[in-house]
Amino acid sequence: MKPRTRIQKEVVRLSSGLPELTDKQKAYAFEHCFKHHAYRTKGGTITCSECGHRWKGGHTLAETICGCSCPHCGKELEILDTRKRVFRDSAYYEIITTRKGYQVLRYFMVSVICKVGQKAEYSIREVVQWWIAPNGKTEVIARLRAMHTMYYDLWSEWSDMDLRSNKMLKAYNIDAYKTYPAMRIIPELRRNGFKGAFHELTPYEFFTAILTDSKKETLLKAGQTEMFRYAVISNINLHEYWNSIKICIRNGYHIADASMWCDLVRLLRHFGKDTHCPKYVCPTDLKKEHDRLVRKRKEQIERERAEQRREQLVKDEKNYLKSKGKFFGLVFTDNLILVKVIESVAEMQLEGKLMHHCVGSYHKRTDSLILSATIDGKRIETVEVSLTTFKVVQSRGVCNSNTEYHDRIISLVESNAELIRKRISA
């Protein structure tokens, strides 16, 4: 990407002047980015992954748990029982430095190939540079990378370190496995609260947060590290909670669980409580108070839903009466089986519940008439009749099964179809 702005041109110029990695920096990466193994075969032969030296070991418990030292190079090794011959691994390594007033985050891809009986082959190449100005503005210089792949380390090895678009911020926000301990920091970051810890954030997230957002800077300086971290990773609107946060800071209250505390404030606001009062926003037992309000809100929601269901039931009853009221009172019998029209939505829902089928919602069917077949008051089957063909669409017993009276019920209903037709005409 061609540099267009002043800062982009300056960053590109300064990037070319960054020093190469020192031998000490490379050695730290090779030592700390990977586990160092001793490969043990079934016969007890052990091979050092670093120098390739072989020796005869034993299958001892101490060796398996505590590892061993290579008698040739002295490297401390973890025992790995395997028959593999070639091992490959890679990891991100980070160096935090400065250049002409910019905070620079340099990311490297460190790779290792270990072949049994040979010396380990290490390689390291730079893949990303983040340049952060004192005002928090950023530019990224990186190699080309396959963005739409599941492999996080698939870089175009021969591409140039070039200026890249800020639209791909997430692709270049790398969480390095190891960071070189000697860091150089611009004074603006120390002024804004950086004391060496990143609080489980990437350096890019941490530095840009305290340079661009005064509220996050205040949280960090006030020791509200959990709230600070949550504000960065969740991207919540801090302004909504800021007055309550200030109450916590003023009263020396540490927010131990930021997500739960924000949820508590939202619930307090919902119930009309004063979120500027320490009594509410600085609870002694955050979880207990949060859970109490959650239960209260759930009960409120249930009451609201019950009221909505009652209102809907009244509306459904009116509609059902309007559309099917002309059939109410209609009864057929053959001296054993009695079939009657279901005359309310509530009765239909009870029918579905007791018979364990889905007739409870059939009151909305405009072309159907629902009847209940009983013997001596006991429900046998539920019948659906088409108001167009006057034929039985379906007749279902308990759990949608057919009873021994199934055919008899259908015959009884269809033989009395003329009575249904007359009700429509009337």
- Quote the CA–CA distance of 414 and 271 in Å, as a whole number: 58
Residue 363 lies in a domain: yes
- Kindly indicate the confidence band of residue 150, based on its pLDDT and cuts at 50, 70 and 90: very low
pLDDT at position 189 over 90 = yes
Please count the other Cβ atoms lying within 10 Å of the Cβ belonging to residue 337: 19
Task: Classify 55 as helix, strand or coil.
Answer: strand
- Kindly indicate the confidence band of residue 169, based on its pLDDT and cuts at 50, 70 and 90: low
Check if the beta carbon of residue 255 is closer than 8 Å to that of residue 226. yes
Nearest CA-CA partner of 100 in 132, 126, 129, 127: 132
- Quote the CA–CA distance of 341 and 357 in Å, as a whole number: 17
pTM listed for this prediction: 0.76
pLDDT at position 207 over 60 = yes
- Residue 1's Cβ-side half-sphere holds a number of Cα atoms within 13 Å equal to 19
Q: pLDDT by residue (tens digit) across 315-345?
A: 999 999 998 999 999 999 998 999 999 999 9
CA dihedral 345, 346, 347, 348 (to 10 degrees): 50
- Predicted confidence at residue 381, as pLDDT, reads 94
Contact partners, residue 329, CB within 8 Å, separation at least 6: 341, 343
Strand ranges, E, within 303-356 = 331-333, 338-341
More confident call, 362 vs 283:
283
Check if the beta carbon of residue 258 is closer than 8 Å to that of residue 248. no
Please count the other Cβ atoms lying within 10 Å of the Cβ belonging to residue 126: 18
Among 157, 179, 201, which residue terminates a domain? 179
Check if the beta carbon of residue 115 is closer than 8 Å to that of residue 72. no
- Quote the CA–CA distance of 426 and 330 in Å, as a whole number: 13
Task: Classify 164 as helix, strand or coil.
Answer: strand
Nearest CA-CA partner of 15 in 109, 139, 174: 139
- For residues 161-166, give the mean pLDDT: 85
Strands 76-81 and 37-40: parallel
Least confident residue range of 99-103, 189-193, 243-247, 321-325: 321-325
CATH number of the domain that residue 379 is part of: 3.40.630.30
Instruction: Quickly tell me which residue has 């131990």 as its tokens.
Output: 256
- Predicted confidence at residue 153, as pLDDT, reads 65
Among 129, 159, 179, which residue terminates a domain? 179
Least confident residue range of 164-168, 183-187, 225-229: 164-168
Query: Which amino acid appears at position 373 of this protein?
Result: A
Residue 160 lies in a domain: yes
- Chain-centre distance of CA 265, in angstroms? 22
Strands 86-99 and 178-179: parallel
Q: pLDDT by residue (tens digit) across 343-360?
A: 999 999 999 999 999 888
Contact partners, residue 50, CB within 8 Å, separation at least 6: 36, 70, 73, 75, 77, 119, 120
| Maximum CA extent, the chain | 106
Least confident residue range of 86-95, 125-134, 139-148, 297-306: 139-148
Q: Which domain holds residue 28?
A: 6-179
Nearest CA-CA partner of 351 in 380, 310, 322: 380
Scored b (16 or more CB within 10 A) or e, 172-198 reads bbbebebbbeeeeebebbeebbbeeee
- Predicted confidence at residue 211, as pLDDT, reads 96
- For residues 408-418, give the mean pLDDT: 92
Residue 51 lies in a domain: yes
Q: Is the dihedral of CA 296, 299, 301, 303 positive or negative?
A: negative
Residue 406 lies in a domain: yes
End-to-end CA distance of the chain, in Å?
82
- Predicted confidence at residue 220, as pLDDT, reads 97
- Predicted confidence at residue 60, as pLDDT, reads 77
DSSP states of 262-284 as a string? HHHHHHHHHTT--TT-HHHHS-S
- Kindly indicate the confidence band of residue 168, based on its pLDDT and cuts at 50, 70 and 90: low
- Quote the CA–CA distance of 182 and 96 in Å, as a whole number: 8
- For residues 239-250, give the mean pLDDT: 96
- Quote the CA–CA distance of 210 and 192 in Å, as a whole number: 6
Q: What is the DSSP letter of 198?
A: -
- For residues 192-209, give the mean pLDDT: 94
Residue 69 lies in a domain: yes
Residue 141 lies in a domain: yes
- For residues 10-33, give the mean pLDDT: 94
SS3 labels along 388-416: CCCCEEEEECHHHCCCCCHHHHHHHHHHC
Query: Average pLDDT, whole number, for the chain?
Result: 91
Among 179, 207, 234, which residue terminates a domain? 179
Residue 168 lies in a domain: yes
Residue 397 lies in a domain: yes
Check if the beta carbon of residue 243 is closer than 8 Å to that of residue 277. no
User: Looking at the 3D structure of the chain, how many domains does it have?
Assistant: 2
Q: How far is CA 218 from CA 191, 223, 250, 424, in A?
A: 11, 9, 12, 76
